Amino acid sequence: MNEQLKLLIDLQAIDTIIINSKTKINSIPQKITEFDAPLKAAQTSLDKLQQQFSATDKKKKDKDQEIDELKQKVSKLKTRSSEIKNNKEYQAHLKEIENAEKSLKTAEEAASAITGSLESISKDINVCKESVKTEEGKISSIKEELNKEAAEAEQELKVVIDKRRVLVKQIEKSTYDLYMGILKTKRGLAVVNTSNELCHGCNMHIPPQMFVEIKSNSEIIHCPQCRRILYFRDNSDNS
């Protein structure tokens, strides 16, 4: 096999590992963001419930104040009952007491309903807090695993980059420049295997005579369609 072609095949294998490692590393933040979604949803629900609780609690306090004021009013009205001598005024006074007591009863019923709402919201908050806690545990475990994957990919990257430096020194500059130009324009794939007169870079047909020349692996030959560098290997995995 042509020595420069062999070096390019090895370089492509290394660059494929580098590209995959960088892709994995760069995808980690996005993966974490995606896994964060359930936690954010649970936290948003908790925030809404807590806001709802605060608003309902304020209603309860306002209603309690209203009840206190109505109780004081009823008490004062009843105290004044003995002071009224005129029957007509007394009847009107009793009606006023009746209305005040009705208002008090209505306010107390409303306060009771609000208390029930507060208890229900409080239960929902506790459930939601558990959900947040569960999701925090999940995302913590996921982040730990993803960060471990990133660290392993970083370590692998360092090793293969060192191998790449050594390999590049053995490649002629013009050949390396040619390779890099193709690599940049062909989405990280500059050197590909061939079989059955097909380029495994673009899957286009290779002329029979050219395929015979490629099979000899004696020189650097480009695909007539995609311009990638071609080689031939028996029992290949289409790399």
Residue 70 in contact with residue 103, Cβ under 8 Å? yes
- The pLDDT of residue 239 is 40
DSSP state letters, the chain? --HHHHHHHHHHHHHHHHHHHHHHHHHHHHHHHHHHHHHHHHHHHHHHHHHHHHHHHHHHHHHHHHHHHHHHHHHHHHHHGGG---HHHHHHHHHHHHHHHHHHHHHHHHHHHHHHHHHHHHHHHHHHHHHHHHHHHHHHHHHHHHHHHHHHHHHHHHHHHHHHHHHHTTS-HHHHHHHHHHHHHTTT--EEEEETTEETTT--B--HHHHHHHHHT-S-EE-TTT--EEEE-TT----
Query: pLDDT by residue (tens digit) across 152-162?
Result: 889 989 999 99
Report residue 52: phi and psi, to 5°. Answer: -65, -40
**Half-sphere exposure of residue 72, counting CA atoms within 13 Å on the CB side?**
6
* pTM over 0.85, yes/no: no
- The pLDDT of residue 212 is 96
Cβ atoms < 10 Å from Cβ of 120: 12
Query: pLDDT by residue (tens digit) across 164-187?
Result: 999 999 999 999 999 999 999 999
- The pLDDT of residue 80 is 87
Q: Are strands 221-222 and 191-195 parallel, antiparallel or unpaired?
A: unpaired
CA 221: distance to chain centroid? 45
Which residues in the chain land under pLDDT 50? 236-239
> Please, what are the domains in the chain?
26-157 (1.10.287.1490), 173-232 (no CATH)
Q: Are strands 229-232 and 191-195 parallel, antiparallel or unpaired?
A: parallel
> Can you give the length of the chain in residues?
239
- The pLDDT of residue 35 is 86
- The pLDDT of residue 235 is 56
